[in-house]
Structure formats: structure tokens, C-alpha cells
Amino acid sequence: MTLKRMLLGQPIESVREQHERMPKAMGLAIFSSDALSSVAYATEEILLALVLAGTVMLGYSMPISISIAALIAIVATSYYQIIHAYPSGGGAYVVTRENLGVNAGLVAGASLMIDYVLTVAVSITAGVAALTSAFPAIHEHRVLIGIAGIVILMFINLRGVREAGYIFSVPTYVFLASLFMLIGYGIYRYFFQDHPPMPEYVQPPSDYLPLFIILRAFASGCAALTGIEAMSNGVQAFRKPEARNASVTLVWLAVLLGSLFIGITFLADHYGIIPSESETVLSQLARAVFSTGPFYYLVQFATTLILFLAANTSFAGFPRLASVMAADRFLPRQLASRGDKLVFSNGIIILGFFAALLIVIFGGATHALIPLYAVGVFLSFTLAQAGMVRHWFRERGRGWRRGAAINGFGAATTLLVLSVIAAVKFTHGAWLVVITIPVLVYLTRRVNSHYRSIAEQLSLEGVAAPGEFSHHAVIIPVSGVHRAVLAAVKYAKAISDDVTAVYVCFDPAETEKIEAKWEDYGMEVPLVVLASPYRSVISPLMRYIDYVRGKNKDGVVTVVLPEFVPTKWWHHLLHNQTALIIKGMLLFRKDVVSTSVPMRLTE
């Protein structure tokens, strides 16, 4: 507990929950870092896909980026409506569940959870790539650096929303400032100083249709849209009025994201940047604009930070989504509870674990993770907007036709994009997500079935008033005769008149000594000696408990376990844990209760 307080700080009272909510400026840093950071690699992913057909295809980067920017506007408009229609949060999962049914809601929830895990892995690995571009000597340690980054983010988020907001706000705004400086100065130099010649892209022959390459580049660039949905999941994290503040922040995000994305692609196109395995496109662009001066390193440092911190969008969104699904009994109920710092601690830890596992599996390579990235998020986009269309037709409130038209157009657009992404990236890893989503849906269904079964079995409906047990037998397993045993015997005699001590015999000579001591200190409680030719304590004891239980079908058996408690944690390593094993075994026996009588040692 002392170590926990040192790492995470003092706990926060529940009544202070309102004070832990964030203003719009902090919300932008918390919930938008993922989407904003994608401009550091989205353009590069487009160029990487295009350059496979040679530099002849790089001229398509601007039209592709403009189409993605239009898609950003469509999706942001749709989620603006979702925030106001469902201000309680939950985003795509809640919208889909309430309008398209439970199964569709679980598909949306599973898709988002996968996307959040991938967001952490991609953001961290992209941040490491930016760092190793500036310092190539550490490239071989990228997996270890990535895991360290995840652990640091976990601890920051476990300290609470406000503390995380203060820590993440500065790097986010430094990143925004550095990129706008890069774009602004790059455009100025291009038109008024350098006048570099436009790259000469040879157009493909008229009989050559580069459609597949263009579609693949478009699918790769759609990574820029991941993170837009996070605002709708975390509406309740904003100060009142929550929906208005969240929606205004979403508009800020869409404008900033579209501007940065178009600006970087424009400069990369006009400066003739070609993707390299050893240096990111953004690093090459910053080097071309600023040379290798302090502003270059500012861009690289800010990019590295924002890419690391972009994962924080998932640390803000995943636990909240998991809490909503856990409250609906589709995930373990531990995910619905807030920790000492008023954050969903269990969700944060689980997210960090799976993201670190992905980095290890894929060797810290961003390009290996990107193909898995956009399938889940565009599936949730499509389901959420289709759900909103159903919502408008069902509610028919003010402006419902306009709302239905916007969401219907958005659903059709994102469905088309989803089909393109799934088709062109299926063999590059998207198949893994396509398989994982139904597996997660099946698991959530099993969890829900378990909780419903428990509720039915615990229900008092139709149950008569309980009667009393006809008999109460108490059994005390003993390993010898000492003070802890005597305390257990004293307790057992206080709760029942039928008390028996049980000793498992390994050595007849030792058993004789035990029986002699028991005559003096056993307080008239009979001692039963069980033979154990195979030197097992558990098996003979369990058989004896079953025998006593069988003699009184309508009775109950209490097993009283004498235990001594060492003062230091490492002392436990010096003793066997027989009592713990016995308690575990007794959990599965009907009408058998275990209880411990502890004796606390002083040294």
C-alpha cells in the first residue's frame, strides 16, 4: 500500500468526481492526441503504398489526402450528432446496441476495443520510429523502448484524470505549434524563397489503371481517422454542459486534423519527399524546411512525445467503454468500478498489457501493425451511423430528416471505405481483426450468460423462508499441538458441540507424540488420525470431510483452520500454504464452510 501511494498518490474522494472533470482545452489534449498524432504517419502510409508502383504514383497523394479530409468532416459531423443524442457516453456501442440490437452493439464494442489496443501499439511504435530517426543508434532497442513508454503512460493515467490532463496538455500544444510552424514556414519558403521545381511525375499509360494502388494508399491513409470516436465515449469526462463541451472540442479536432493532414501532404508532394526505411517522411520534411537546426529537433521531439502520448486517447476511451459494457454484464464487472484515483484502473492495466504484447509480437514495427488498424474503427463508424439513422426515424424530433440524411450518407461512405480497407488489406493482416471481432463477441456473450445464470440462481423469487440446519459438525485439521491449534479448538467449541480434530499421519512415531500432547491440551475434543501412505494431506482430509458430510445430509460442516500470520511478506515463502489449498478445495463442496483462526506472530 505504501508503494502504491508513492507511485499513484493519495486516493480521491467520490464527492470530488465533478472537480476531476476537464475543460475543453484539456479535453482536446486527452481525447484528441490519437487523431492529431496520426498526421505524423498517415501521409507516410499513403506514400509507402503509392511508391510500390514507383515514383510515378506519388502525384496521387494530394487527391487521396483531400478525399480523406472530406471523410474526416463527414465522420466528425456524424459523431457531433451522436454526442448530443447520447450525452451519457458509450459512443458507437451504446448507439448501436439501442438501435440495431445487442449483437450489433457487441460487434461495435469489440471493434472499438481492438482499435483502442492497436492505437496504443501503433502510436508507441510510431513514436519510437520518430525517435530512432533522429538517433539511429537506438533503433535495435525499439521494442524495449516501446514497452517502457506503455508502462509510463499506464502509471500517469492511474494517477487520475486531472493529473494526466496537466501532463499531456503541454506536449499536445507544443506538437500543434511545431507542425503549424513547419507547414507555415515550409509554404513560405516554397513560394517566396526556395522555389524548388515541382517533381516530375510521369503519368501512367492510358491502358494502365492504377486503381488498386490508389485504393490501397487511400486505405492506408484512413489511419488518420482513428481516434475521432473517442470524444463520444468520454462525454461524461467533460465539465457541464458535457455534450456541448465535448461537441465543440470535436469540431476543434476536425479542423486541426484536416488542416495538418492536408498541409503535410502538400509539402511532402511539393518537396518531392520519398518514404525511407531509415527516416520518417515528417523527419525528411522537417529537415528539408529547417535543415538540421533546433527547429528540426523541436519537430522531432514534439512528434515523438505526441506519438507516445497519442496512446493516451485509448487510455481515456478504452476503460470508459469497458465500464459501460461491464455495467451491461458483457465484460467482467471489475471493469465497471473506479479505483482510488476515480479512474477505471483495471481497464487501464488490461489495455497496457495487450498493447505491450502486440509490440513484442510484431517486433515494434509500425508498418506491420498499420494493416490491422483501420478495420475495427471503420466498422464501428458504420454501425454507429446506421444506428443513428434508426434513431432519427424512431424519434422524429426537430431536424430529424436532416440528421438522418447526414448519418445515412456517413454510414454509406464509411461502409464503402470499410469494404476497400478490408479488401486491400485482408492478406496483409486485416484478416486477423476480421477473425478476432467475432471471437470477442462470442466471449462477451459467454460472460453475459454467466452473469445471467448467477442472477437466476441467486434470485429470491419463489424461494420459501430458509430453515435451520439439522446438524453442525466442526472439523479442525491440525499439523501438531501448539497455541494456534488451541485457539482454533476454543473457537470451534464456541460454535458447535460436535467438534473433531483431524491429524494426517506420515510417521507413526511422530503420531504417538501428537496423541500424547493432545491428551493434555485437546480440551476433550476427540482426535482422529488419518493414515496417508502416499504422504498427502489433502486427499485423506477431503475424504474424511465428505464422510462426515454424508452422515448428516441436512447438516453443515465447518472446517476451522488454525493459521499463524508472519509479520513480513517474505516469511510466507518459508512456510507451506496447506491452509490456502484446503480453502480452495472446499469452495467446490456443497454445505461445507471454511473459516480461519489466525494467530499473528510478533517477529
Model confidence pLDDT, tens digit, residues 481-504:
999 999 999 999 999 999 999 999
Report which of residues 80 and 226 the model is more confident about: 80
Split at pLDDT 50, 70, 90, the class of 20 is low
Average of pLDDT values for 15-41? 75
Lowest mean pLDDT among 142-146, 191-195, 540-544: 191-195
3-state secondary structure of 562: strand
- DSSP-derived letter for residue 16 is G
Average of pLDDT values for 299-324? 82
Residue 207 has pLDDT above 70, yes or no: no
Rounded CA separation 601/603 (Å): 6
Q: Given the C-alpha cell 492497436, which residue does it identify?
A: 118
Average of pLDDT values for 148-176? 80
Lowest mean pLDDT among 90-94, 217-221, 307-311, 409-413: 307-311
Strands laid side by side in the 472-478 sheet:
527-531, 498-505, 472-478, 556-565, 592-600
Q: What is the pLDDT of residues 364-408, one digit of tens each?
A: 777 677 667 667 878 888 898 899 999 989 888 888 888 888 888
Rounded CA separation 165/152 (Å): 14
Burial of 122 (0-12, 13-18, 19+ CB in 10 A): buried
Rounded CA separation 63/218 (Å): 10
Average of pLDDT values for 317-339? 87
Average of pLDDT values for 252-278? 86
Residue 78 pLDDT: 84
Residue 403 pLDDT: 84
Element containing residue 564 per DSSP (H, E): strand 556-565
19-452 belongs to which homologous superfamily? Amino acid/polyamine transporter I (1.20.1740.10)
Could you give the dihedral angle defined by the CA atoms of residues 300, 301, 305 and 308, in that order, rounded to the nearest 10 degrees? 50
Split at pLDDT 50, 70, 90, the class of 438 is very high
Residue 522 pLDDT: 86
Average of pLDDT values for 151-173? 77
Report which of residues 327 and 30 the model is more confident about: 327
Domain 472-600 is in which class? alpha beta
- DSSP-derived letter for residue 201 is P
Rounded CA separation 511/524 (Å): 18
Q: Given the C-alpha cell 461524461, which residue does it identify?
A: 236
Please answer whether residues 130 and 282 qualify as being in contact, where contact means their C-beta atoms are separated by less than 8 angstroms: yes
3-state secondary structure of 471: coil
Residue 102 has pLDDT above 50, yes or no: yes
Question: C-alpha cell of 69?
Answer: 479530409
Rounded CA separation 230/34 (Å): 9
Looking at the DSSP assignment, which residues form a beta bridge with residue 474? 499, 558
Q: What is the pLDDT of residues 525-580, one digit of tens each?
A: 999 999 888 788 899 999 999 999 988 888 999 999 998 888 887 777 777 788 88
Looking at the DSSP assignment, which residues form a beta bridge with residue 560? 595
3-state secondary structure of 365: coil
Please answer whether residues 342 and 161 qualify as being in contact, where contact means their C-beta atoms are separated by less than 8 angstroms: yes
Residue 316 pLDDT: 78
Average of pLDDT values for 140-156? 86
State phi, psi for 541 to the nearest 5 degrees.
-65, -45
Per-residue burial over 211-221, b if 16 or more Cβ lie within 10 Å, else e, is eebbbbbbbbb
Rounded CA separation 296/302 (Å): 10
Average of pLDDT values for 56-65? 82
- Give me the residue spans of the domains in the chain: 19-452, 472-600
Please answer whether residues 162 and 20 qualify as being in contact, where contact means their C-beta atoms are separated by less than 8 angstroms: yes
- DSSP-derived letter for residue 203 is P
The pTM assigned to this predicted structure is 0.73
Residue 502 pLDDT: 95
Report which of residues 421 and 349 the model is more confident about: 349
Residue 494 pLDDT: 94
Rounded CA separation 320/323 (Å): 5
Residue 318 has pLDDT above 70, yes or no: yes
Rounded CA separation 341/164 (Å): 11
Measured between alpha carbons, how far is residue 138 from residues 142, 198, 295 in Å? 7, 35, 22
Residue 3 has pLDDT above 50, yes or no: yes
Neighbours of 447 (CB within 10 A): 17
Non-local CB neighbours of 455 within 8 Å, separated by 6+ positions: none
Query: How much of the chain exceeds pLDDT 70, in percent?
Result: 90
Please answer whether residues 143 and 470 qualify as being in contact, where contact means their C-beta atoms are separated by less than 8 angstroms: no
Closest CA to 364 of 45, 113, 120: 120
Closest CA to 47 of 367, 522, 434, 395: 367
- Helix-strand-coil percent breakdown of the chain, rounded to 5? 70, 5, 20
Residue 4 pLDDT: 64
Residue 594 pLDDT: 93
Residue 205 pLDDT: 47
Per-residue burial over 365-390, b if 16 or more Cβ lie within 10 Å, else e, is ebbbbbbbbbbbbbbbbbbbbbbbbb
Question: C-alpha cell of 47?
Answer: 506514400
**Degrees to nearest 5, angle at CA 577 with 576 and 579:** 130
Question: C-alpha cell of 155?
Answer: 502509471
Per-residue burial over 460-480, b if 16 or more Cβ lie within 10 Å, else e, is eeeeeeeeeeeebbbbbbbee
